[in-house]
Amino acid sequence: MTHSTPDPDPDTGPVETKVTAATTAAVLSSLVVWALDEYAFPADTVPGVVEAAVVLLVTGAVTFLAGYMAKHTRRPDLPAAER
């Protein structure tokens, strides 16, 4: 009995560098902002609305910059017009 390996799905491939960078930045920046809020500022010195805005803006900005600054993943499997 012979086992054959199915053809790989053409829609799957390596995770793009930009996606990896942005995801990592989002997780780490959220952790850093949480740690600063939890340990650097005394309790109730910063209103909750300000905390939420800072988390949103800092995480969003860091995530965008990490994705923007990361190099593109080379995709030689795509036609030249789609690269």
Full residue range of the structural domain in which residue 65 is found: 17-72
pLDDT band at 38 (very low <50, low <70, confident <90, very high): confident
Report pTM: 0.70
User: Considering the domain boundaries, does residue 60 fall inside one?
Assistant: yes
**C-alpha to C-alpha distance for 65 and 62, rounded to whole angstroms:** 5
Q: How many residues does the chain have?
A: 83
User: Considering the domain boundaries, does residue 43 fall inside one?
Assistant: yes
User: Considering the domain boundaries, does residue 6 fall inside one?
Assistant: no
C-alpha pair distances (Å), 78 with each of 27, 37, 39, 69: 31, 45, 48, 23
Hey, CA dihedral for 67, 72, 73, 76, is it positive or negative? positive
pLDDT over threshold 60, residue 61: yes
